[in-house]
């Protein structure tokens, strides 16, 4: 990413104003510190994205230089020159998300937009309906122990039932309530209420002992995020 300059106006003791600038690297580092790891941040000019920081739960795979797609919140905020808050369905980026986009100006001229992207909420749903051999079984969120991606399917495990679901783990990562479910591995999402014990493993990784006796790995790429959310 090329280094743009962010300008800020300061007032001298003498009463006049002067301009100082700093690199976007510093500016975006500050933005990243202000927002939770649960939130993805995108910054654009009027045509293209110039910065993107994904969260662990949401990665829209935006790259600096990508054009702003019609239908996104950034596009709508830039077009209307107003703050936009809404839910975006999976047709735009392939995953559902919600958030806010706020355009910014300099001397009355539109300069770009900052978008904060949140995981989609469940909107009142409290069950996962899985496919079994004989039909479909609704499993309450609270009963789900973990989800596993294997053999190009998503398996949902509870104490009494196991079945498959058409959603990918990535989609479940946005749909399931974040206070209970954590992505701990590219192949696993676990319900923290069903973790009996956490054991250290090699290279800063962990093994989770679940309520059904299963042993679930926490990979190195998720270990810091996992420890932060569980506060240990």
Q: What is the pLDDT of residues 31-64, one digit of tens each?
A: 666 666 678 889 999 999 998 988 766 777 889 9
What pLDDT is stored for residue 44 in this prediction?
93
Task: Give the separation between CA 6 and CA 23, rounded to whole angstroms.
Answer: 6
Pick the CATH number of 127-230 from 3.30.310.50, 1.10.1780.10, 2.40.50.40, 3.40.50.300: 2.40.50.40
> Structure pTM?
0.55
Burial class (CB in 10 A: 0-12, 13-18, 19+), 18: exposed
What is the distance, to the nearest Å, from the Cα of residue 232 to the centroid of all Cα atoms in its chain? Answer: 22
Which of the pair, 221 or 27, is modelled with greater confidence?
Answer: 221
198: part of which helix (H) or strand (E)? Answer: strand 195-200
Strands 181-185 and 153-158, bridge-based pairing: unpaired
Query: At which residue do the structure tokens 């998503």 appear?
Result: 154
Q: Where are the domains of the chain?
A: 5-119, 127-230
Task: Give the separation between CA 73 and CA 84, rounded to whole angstroms.
Answer: 6
Q: How confident is the model at residue 72 (pLDDT cuts 50, 70, 90)?
A: confident
Nearest to 109 by CA among 45, 59, 173: 45
Burial class (CB in 10 A: 0-12, 13-18, 19+), 67: exposed
Please state, for a pLDDT cut of 90, what percent of the chain lies above it.
Answer: 46
Query: At which residue do the structure tokens 């829209």 appear?
Result: 60
| Per-residue model confidence as pLDDT tens digits over 149-188 | 999 999 999 999 999 999 888 888 877 888 899 999 999 9
Q: How confident is the model at residue 119 (pLDDT cuts 50, 70, 90)?
A: low
Which of the pair, 175 or 6, is modelled with greater confidence?
Answer: 175
Q: Which CATH class is domain 5-119?
A: alpha beta
- Asked if residue 44 lies in contact with residue 101, where contact means CB atoms within 8 angstroms, the answer is no
- Asked if residue 168 lies in contact with residue 156, where contact means CB atoms within 8 angstroms, the answer is no
């Amino acid at each position: 990413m090329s280094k743009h300059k962010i300008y800020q106006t300061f007032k001298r003791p003498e009463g006049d104003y002067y301009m100082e600038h700093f690199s976007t690297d510093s500016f975006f580092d500050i933005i990243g510190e202000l927002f939770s790891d649960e939130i993805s941040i995108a910054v654009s000019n009027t045509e293209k994205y110039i910065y993107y920081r994904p969260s662990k739960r949401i990665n829209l795979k935006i790259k600096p230089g990508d054009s702003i797609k019609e239908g996104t919140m950034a596009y709508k905020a830039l077009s209307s020159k107003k703050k936009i808050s809404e839910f975006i369905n999976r047709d735009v980026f392939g995953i559902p998300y919600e958030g806010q986009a706020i355009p910014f100006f300099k001397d009355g001229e539109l300069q770009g937009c900052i978008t904060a992207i949140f995981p989609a909420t469940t909107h009142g749903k409290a069950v996962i309906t899985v496919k079994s051999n004989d039909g479909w079984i609704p499993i309450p969120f609270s009963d789900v122990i973990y989800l596993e991606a294997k053999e190009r399917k998503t398996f949902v495990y509870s104490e009494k039932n196991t079945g498959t679901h058409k959603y990918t783990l990535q989609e479940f990562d946005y749909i399931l309530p974040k206070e209970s479910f954590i992505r701990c591995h590219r192949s696993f999402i676990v319900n923290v209420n069903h973790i009996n014990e956490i054991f250290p493993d090699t290279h800063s990784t962990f093994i989770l002992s679940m309520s059904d006796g299963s042993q679930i790995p926490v990979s190195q790429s998720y270990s810091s995020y996992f420890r932060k959310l569980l506060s240990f």
